[in-house]
Amino acid sequence: MKQRSAGLLAYRLTSDLIEVLLVHPGGPFWKNKDEGAWSIPKGEYDAQEEPLAAAKREFLEETGYAISEEDFRPLTSIKQKSGKWVDAFAIEYDMDARKINSNVFEIEWPPRSGRMQSFPEVDRAEWFDLHTAHKKINPAQAAFLDELAQLLK
Protein backbone atom coordinates (compact mmCIF):
# COMPACT_ATOMS: atom_id res chain seq x y z
CA MET A 1 0.00 0.00 0.00
CA LYS A 2 1.25 3.47 -0.83
CA GLN A 3 2.05 5.72 2.10
CA ARG A 4 -0.93 7.92 3.01
CA SER A 5 -1.65 10.65 5.50
CA ALA A 6 -4.91 12.30 6.44
CA GLY A 7 -5.51 15.70 7.95
CA LEU A 8 -7.96 18.45 8.70
CA LEU A 9 -7.91 21.91 7.20
CA ALA A 10 -9.62 23.92 9.93
CA TYR A 11 -10.83 27.33 8.82
CA ARG A 12 -12.66 30.25 10.33
CA LEU A 13 -14.36 33.24 8.78
CA THR A 14 -13.44 36.60 10.27
CA SER A 15 -14.78 39.80 8.73
CA ASP A 16 -13.88 39.51 5.05
CA LEU A 17 -11.14 36.93 5.56
CA ILE A 18 -10.82 33.19 5.47
CA GLU A 19 -8.23 32.07 8.00
CA VAL A 20 -6.75 28.57 8.12
CA LEU A 21 -5.00 26.76 10.93
CA LEU A 22 -1.51 25.51 10.10
CA VAL A 23 0.97 23.73 12.33
CA HIS A 24 4.75 23.92 12.40
CA PRO A 25 6.62 20.62 12.84
CA GLY A 26 8.64 20.27 16.02
CA GLY A 27 12.13 18.93 16.45
CA PRO A 28 15.58 20.19 15.61
CA PHE A 29 15.37 19.70 11.83
CA TRP A 30 12.47 22.16 11.50
CA LYS A 31 13.58 24.63 14.17
CA ASN A 32 14.78 27.37 11.80
CA LYS A 33 12.53 26.61 8.83
CA ASP A 34 9.44 28.70 8.15
CA GLU A 35 8.19 29.32 4.60
CA GLY A 36 7.17 26.03 3.03
CA ALA A 37 7.52 24.14 6.32
CA TRP A 38 4.01 24.52 7.77
CA SER A 39 1.28 21.95 7.23
CA ILE A 40 -2.29 21.06 7.99
CA PRO A 41 -2.42 18.84 11.11
CA LYS A 42 -2.06 15.38 9.58
CA GLY A 43 -0.51 11.97 10.00
CA GLU A 44 -0.20 8.51 8.53
CA TYR A 45 -2.89 5.88 8.55
CA ASP A 46 -3.19 2.29 7.35
CA ALA A 47 -5.77 0.33 5.37
CA GLN A 48 -7.72 -0.56 8.52
CA GLU A 49 -8.50 3.08 9.34
CA GLU A 50 -10.84 5.41 7.49
CA PRO A 51 -9.18 8.64 6.29
CA LEU A 52 -11.60 10.93 8.18
CA ALA A 53 -11.12 8.97 11.42
CA ALA A 54 -7.35 9.24 10.96
CA ALA A 55 -7.59 12.97 10.25
CA LYS A 56 -9.60 13.57 13.43
CA ARG A 57 -7.20 11.41 15.47
CA GLU A 58 -4.16 13.25 14.12
CA PHE A 59 -5.75 16.66 14.77
CA LEU A 60 -6.26 15.66 18.39
CA GLU A 61 -2.72 14.25 18.72
CA GLU A 62 -1.08 17.33 17.19
CA THR A 63 -3.20 20.08 18.75
CA GLY A 64 -4.89 18.59 21.81
CA TYR A 65 -8.29 19.66 20.42
CA ALA A 66 -11.00 17.09 19.64
CA ILE A 67 -13.39 18.19 16.90
CA SER A 68 -16.94 17.03 17.52
CA GLU A 69 -18.51 18.86 14.55
CA GLU A 70 -19.56 16.61 11.69
CA ASP A 71 -19.74 18.97 8.71
CA PHE A 72 -16.47 17.85 7.11
CA ARG A 73 -15.92 18.61 3.43
CA PRO A 74 -13.57 16.21 1.63
CA LEU A 75 -10.88 17.87 -0.46
CA THR A 76 -9.04 16.45 -3.45
CA SER A 77 -6.06 14.29 -2.39
CA ILE A 78 -2.61 15.62 -3.21
CA LYS A 79 0.78 13.97 -3.69
CA GLN A 80 3.68 15.57 -1.84
CA LYS A 81 7.23 15.75 -3.17
CA SER A 82 8.12 12.80 -0.90
CA GLY A 83 5.62 10.64 -2.79
CA LYS A 84 3.19 10.49 0.14
CA TRP A 85 -0.49 11.02 -0.65
CA VAL A 86 -2.46 13.30 1.67
CA ASP A 87 -6.22 13.13 2.11
CA ALA A 88 -7.75 16.23 3.67
CA PHE A 89 -11.08 17.40 4.99
CA ALA A 90 -12.10 21.01 5.53
CA ILE A 91 -14.04 21.96 8.65
CA GLU A 92 -15.16 25.32 9.99
CA TYR A 93 -13.74 25.39 13.50
CA ASP A 94 -12.26 27.92 15.90
CA MET A 95 -9.75 27.35 18.66
CA ASP A 96 -6.97 29.13 20.49
CA ALA A 97 -3.88 28.18 18.49
CA ARG A 98 -1.61 29.37 21.31
CA LYS A 99 -2.95 26.59 23.58
CA ILE A 100 -2.08 23.52 21.54
CA ASN A 101 -0.84 20.44 23.35
CA SER A 102 1.02 18.18 20.92
CA ASN A 103 2.19 14.65 21.47
CA VAL A 104 5.97 14.10 21.53
CA PHE A 105 8.46 11.90 19.72
CA GLU A 106 11.93 10.78 20.73
CA ILE A 107 15.09 10.81 18.59
CA GLU A 108 18.80 10.60 19.14
CA TRP A 109 19.97 14.20 19.33
CA PRO A 110 22.52 15.37 18.48
CA PRO A 111 23.08 12.64 15.88
CA ARG A 112 25.43 9.84 16.98
CA SER A 113 25.56 11.29 20.51
CA GLY A 114 23.85 8.33 22.16
CA ARG A 115 21.47 10.79 23.86
CA MET A 116 17.73 10.48 23.28
CA GLN A 117 15.67 13.65 23.45
CA SER A 118 11.93 14.28 23.27
CA PHE A 119 10.41 16.93 21.03
CA PRO A 120 6.82 17.95 20.36
CA GLU A 121 5.48 16.67 17.04
CA VAL A 122 4.10 20.19 16.51
CA ASP A 123 5.85 23.11 18.17
CA ARG A 124 3.29 25.78 17.31
CA ALA A 125 0.05 26.46 15.48
CA GLU A 126 -1.20 29.69 13.97
CA TRP A 127 -4.14 31.10 12.07
CA PHE A 128 -3.17 32.60 8.70
CA ASP A 129 -5.13 34.39 6.01
CA LEU A 130 -5.01 32.51 2.69
CA HIS A 131 -2.37 34.77 1.15
CA THR A 132 0.06 34.27 4.04
CA ALA A 133 -0.83 30.58 4.33
CA HIS A 134 0.26 30.06 0.70
CA LYS A 135 3.76 31.22 1.68
CA LYS A 136 3.93 29.15 4.85
CA ILE A 137 2.44 25.81 3.79
CA ASN A 138 4.21 22.84 2.21
CA PRO A 139 3.92 23.73 -1.51
CA ALA A 140 1.97 20.59 -2.44
CA GLN A 141 -0.63 21.33 0.24
CA ALA A 142 -1.33 24.78 -1.22
CA ALA A 143 -3.88 23.04 -3.46
CA PHE A 144 -6.00 22.49 -0.33
CA LEU A 145 -6.09 26.26 0.24
CA ASP A 146 -7.14 26.93 -3.34
CA GLU A 147 -9.88 24.31 -3.18
CA LEU A 148 -11.16 25.71 0.11
CA ALA A 149 -11.33 29.21 -1.37
CA GLN A 150 -13.38 27.84 -4.28
CA LEU A 151 -15.73 25.94 -1.95
CA LEU A 152 -16.40 29.04 0.14
CA LYS A 153 -17.13 31.40 -2.78
First-to-last alpha carbon distance for the chain, in angstroms, is 36
Residue 69 has what pLDDT?
85
CATH topology of domain 4-151: Nucleoside Triphosphate Pyrophosphohydrolase (3.90.79)
Maximum pairwise Cα distance, the chain: 53
Residue 1 pLDDT level (bands cut at 50, 70, 90): low
pTM of the model: 0.94
Q: Is the pLDDT of residue 68 over 90?
A: no
90 versus 15: which is more confidently predicted? Answer: 90
User: What pLDDT, in 10s, does the model give residues 6-51?
Assistant: 999 999 998 889 999 999 999 998 989 999 999 999 999 999 999 9
Q: What is the mean pLDDT of residues 83-104?
A: 97
Domain residue ranges in the chain: 4-151
- Percent of the chain whose pLDDT exceeds 90: 91
Half-sphere exposure (CA, 13 Å, Cβ side) for 88? Answer: 29
How does the average pLDDT of the chain come out, rounded?
95
Residue 2 has what pLDDT?
73
- Dihedral (Cα; 30, 33, 36, 41), 10-degree rounding: 40
